[in-house]
Amino acid sequence: MIKAVFIDIDGTLLRSDHTVSNLTIQTIKQLQEKNVLVVLASARPLHGILPISKTVGLETAPTISLNGSYIAQNNKVIFKSAIPTDITMALHKSVLPYGITTIYYQENKWFAEAASQYTFNEQKITDVPVTIQPLAQTIEQWNQENTGPNKIMMIADADTIQIMQKALEPLFGKTLNMLTSKPIFLEAMQKDASKAKAVAQLIQEYHITTDEIITIGDNFNDMEMIGMAGTGVAMGNAPDAVKSVAKYVTDTNNNDGVAKAIQHFLKQWF
């Protein structure tokens, strides 16, 4: 029996125009009426998820943000994991030669050293303004607060991201999870933070087993989450490598893939 459904947002729940279909909204509502836990699990920061949570009626549900490094519910923090500032600065120095945009997310704040088209695009999804300042200044603040970034996002063209990921893995692979959420996004979190680990933590708290969950996603940062579930679903628009770990491949995000997957496995309710 399915007791929980975990859904990625971009490329999964959202269509290409950043809207959610009425069929998907209604399907999520019906899951809630059957007391199924529905959780959004995204690389987005929490402030970039909450408007979507409201759209689909999940304002009071747990929310997995920043690829599992920040979990919250009703303004209460359930879990957070911060990258140490020395590792943050070391990563920063390693990517400087690539001339990329790097964004640092810390709880409900986000920082960058310079504005770019990428920071402008990210600003569109949140009302929280980006803080533009030298990383050394940001790190000084974090050191005073005994904290650090929950996630570091490196943005460049897809070829540069592939080259950079291969170069960074030997340097930081033992301390950081580094995954792509889109071909142009390379995201770094602490080793104890991932969508799969966040799912595992929440289902333990709700006394749910992996055989009782559906996970749905479309990209490489969703692979572990998809692979761990009794019913792991890849979107039709997912790369082949992501589809290869899924139990089921549904339709695309532009063609009600989330609703179709849920209705396929829970026919008795629809």
Instruction: State how many domains the chain has.
Output: 2
Q: Residue 72's beta-bridge partner residues?
A: 63, 77
* Per-residue confidence (pLDDT) for residue 256, from 0 to 100: 98
* Per-residue confidence (pLDDT) for residue 87, from 0 to 100: 98
In this structure, are 160 and 27 located in the same domain? Answer: no
In this structure, are 148 and 178 located in the same domain? Answer: yes
In this structure, are 197 and 74 located in the same domain? Answer: yes
The domain that holds 165 is classified in CATH as 3.30.1240.10
* Per-residue confidence (pLDDT) for residue 145, from 0 to 100: 95
In this structure, are 178 and 259 located in the same domain? Answer: no
* Per-residue confidence (pLDDT) for residue 28, from 0 to 100: 98
Pairwise CA distance, residues 209 & 34, whole Å: 18
In this structure, are 74 and 99 located in the same domain? Answer: no
Transcribe 126-190 into DSSP letters: -SSPPEE--HHHHHHHHHHHT---SEEEEE--HHHHHHHHHHHHHHHTTTEEEEEEETTEEEEEE
Residue ranges, the chain, pLDDT below 70: none
Read off the pTM. 0.94
* Per-residue confidence (pLDDT) for residue 125, from 0 to 100: 85
In this structure, are 73 and 207 located in the same domain? Answer: yes
* Per-residue confidence (pLDDT) for residue 75, from 0 to 100: 87
Q: In what order do the strands lie in the sheet with 131-132?
A: 131-132, 109-112, 101-106, 151-155, 185-190, 176-182
Listed residues 163, 190, 217: the one ending a domain: 190
Full residue range of the structural domain in which residue 117 is found: 85-190
In this structure, are 181 and 93 located in the same domain? Answer: yes
In this structure, are 184 and 130 located in the same domain? Answer: yes
Listed residues 169, 190, 211: the one ending a domain: 190
* Per-residue confidence (pLDDT) for residue 127, from 0 to 100: 86
